[in-house]
């Protein structure tokens, strides 16, 4: 039985690989069923069908005590890339790697023709296709890793788009992911030097409050995105956090360290290598993978004032600052006292308030 391998139940062997007396061991009761199954649509459909069949058969044989192997199913989109081919006399197609062709573009950057580098003769633009070895339009992970590192490859594929949608491979996108990680590295190196020199001489309380609010507000969004499997917006949230830190000139050492630790923690599942190295370099306690996952601080998210965008008849006209607990009369009075807004607010009209976001006047 131990030598029998089938992709529809092998994961149950992983739960207790040292069991040699049964098809599945006691560890299977602890680990199964699986919380989240993720796979491409073509693979997941058939694999899910076979896995469910096997699980129910094993249940009937009293090998397991559950009927479904997976609690949740998520099918990710495909990676796409340009394809190029040339028809042979027998009607077959010879597919070229993108690196084997020279592409000509129009003034808007759209491909219009291509020639093979080896002989200069035309090849046909096959359009954007699903990456496939048979069409020679795959990207070898080892090539990206050798050039940019594993973290850059992971960051780009996760940030390229919503994970449930197909994404076109972009060499410039990989460069952008690499630039972000280099920026993060440089910022951490500068912070390490600044923190080691001395304690802050002057702390701007308002700036510290702003940085903490922005940090924990973004953290709240990132945690929500992790729960919804929206990993691309997790990365965009991390990029926002780095911008917040880069502008935190007088927030104080303690506040900046808190924000930096949160940034590295939320990035750790995406870029585990650089986040671990920077965690150690900045002398945060323990190992990053053992640290408690950060949660938003309610005190940091509490604001005395909020900014409201002001629309008039649905058109954005400006913004106002009001107390966080301002009622509608206060908001109206604040808008009318603004010289730029008051000229549009002719008459009383109706006011619609979206708390903490905007106010729209219908006049």
Q: What's the angle, vertex CA 132, arms to CA 129 and CA 136, rounded to 5?
A: 90
**Token output for 210:** 């702003």
14-59: pLDDT as tens digits: 888 888 888 888 888 899 999 988 887 777 778 888 899 999 999 9
Q: Which of 76, 107, 125 is the last residue of a domain?
A: 76
Coil, strand or helix at 338: coil
CATH number of residue 223's parent domain: 1.10.730.10
> CB-side exposure of 148: number of CA atoms within 13 Å?
24
Q: Please count the structural domains in the chain.
A: 4
Domain extent, residue 320, equals 305-362
- Cβ contacts of 226-231, under 8 Å, gap ≥ 24: 226/269, 229/74, 229/163, 229/164, 230/162, 230/163, 231/158, 231/163, 231/270
Same domain, 211 and 329: no
Same domain, 262 and 356: no
Same domain, 290 and 199: yes
Same domain, 49 and 65: yes
Q: What is the full DSSP assignment across 36-66?
A: -EEEEHHHHHHHHHHHHHHHHHHHHTTS-S-
CATH number of residue 126's parent domain: 2.20.28.290
Domain assignment present for 293: yes
Domain assignment present for 1: no
- More confident of the two residues 342 and 96: 96
162-211: pLDDT as tens digits: 888 888 877 788 899 999 999 999 999 988 877 766 555 578 888 888 89
Domain assignment present for 164: no
CATH number of residue 342's parent domain: 3.10.20.590
Residue 2, pLDDT score: 38
What's the CA gap between 165 and 75, in Å, rounded?
Answer: 9
Q: What's the angle, vertex CA 258, arms to CA 252 and CA 262, rounded to 5?
A: 145
Same domain, 176 and 284: yes
- pTM summary value: 0.74
Domain assignment present for 186: yes
278-319: pLDDT as tens digits: 999 999 999 999 999 999 998 888 877 778 888 888 788 778
Q: What is the average pLDDT value for the chain, to the nearest integer?
A: 86
Same domain, 253 and 294: yes
Domain assignment present for 55: yes
Residue 336, pLDDT score: 77
Same domain, 232 and 317: no
Domain assignment present for 220: yes
Q: Is the pLDDT at 123 greater than 70, yes or no?
A: yes
Same domain, 292 and 353: no
């Amino acid at each position: 039985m131990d030598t029998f391998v089938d992709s529809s139940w092998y994961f149950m062997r992983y739960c207790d690989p040292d069991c040699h007396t049964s098809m599945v061991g006691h560890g299977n009761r602890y680990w199964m069923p699986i919380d989240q199954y993720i796979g491409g649509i073509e693979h997941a459909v058939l694999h899910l069908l076979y896995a469910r069949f096997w699980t129910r058969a094993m249940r009937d044989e009293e090998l397991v005590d559950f009927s479904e192997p997976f609690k949740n199913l998520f099918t990710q989109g495909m990676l796409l890339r340009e394809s190029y081919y040339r028809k042979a006399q027998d009607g077959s197609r010879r597919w070229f790697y993108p690196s084997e062709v020279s592409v000509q573009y129009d003034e808007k950057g759209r491909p219009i023709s291509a020639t093979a580098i080896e002989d200069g003769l035309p090849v046909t633009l096959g359009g954007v296709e699903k990456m496939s070895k048979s069409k020679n339009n795959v990207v070898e992970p080892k090539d990206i890793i050798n050039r940019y590192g594993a973290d850059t490859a992971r960051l780009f594929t996760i940030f390229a788009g919503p994970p449930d949608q197909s994404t076109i491979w972009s060499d410039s996108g990989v460069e952008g992911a690499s630039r972000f990680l280099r920026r993060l590295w440089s910022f951490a190196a500068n912070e390490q030097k600044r923190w080691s020199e001395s304690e802050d001489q002057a702390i701007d309380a308002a700036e510290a409050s702003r940085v903490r609010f922005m940090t924990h507000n973004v953290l709240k969004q990132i945690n929500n995105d992790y729960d919804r499997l929206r990993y691309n917006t997790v990365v965009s949230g991390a990029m926002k956090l780095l911008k917040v830190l880069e502008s935190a000139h007088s927030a104080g050492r303690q506040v900046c360290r808190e924000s930096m630790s949160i940034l590295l923690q939320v990035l750790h599942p995406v870029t585990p290598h650089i986040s671990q190295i920077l965690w150690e370099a900045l002398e945060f306690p323990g190992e990053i993978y053992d640290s408690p996952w950060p949660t938003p601080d309610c005190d940091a998210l509490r604001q005395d004032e909020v900014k409201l965008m002001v629309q008039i008849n649905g058109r954005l006209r400006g913004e106002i600052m009001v107390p966080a607990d301002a009622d509608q009369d206060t908001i109206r009075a604040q808008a009318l006292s603004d010289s730029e807004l008051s000229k549009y607010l002719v008459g009383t009209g109706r006011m619609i308030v979206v708390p903490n976001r905007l106010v729209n006047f219908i006049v």
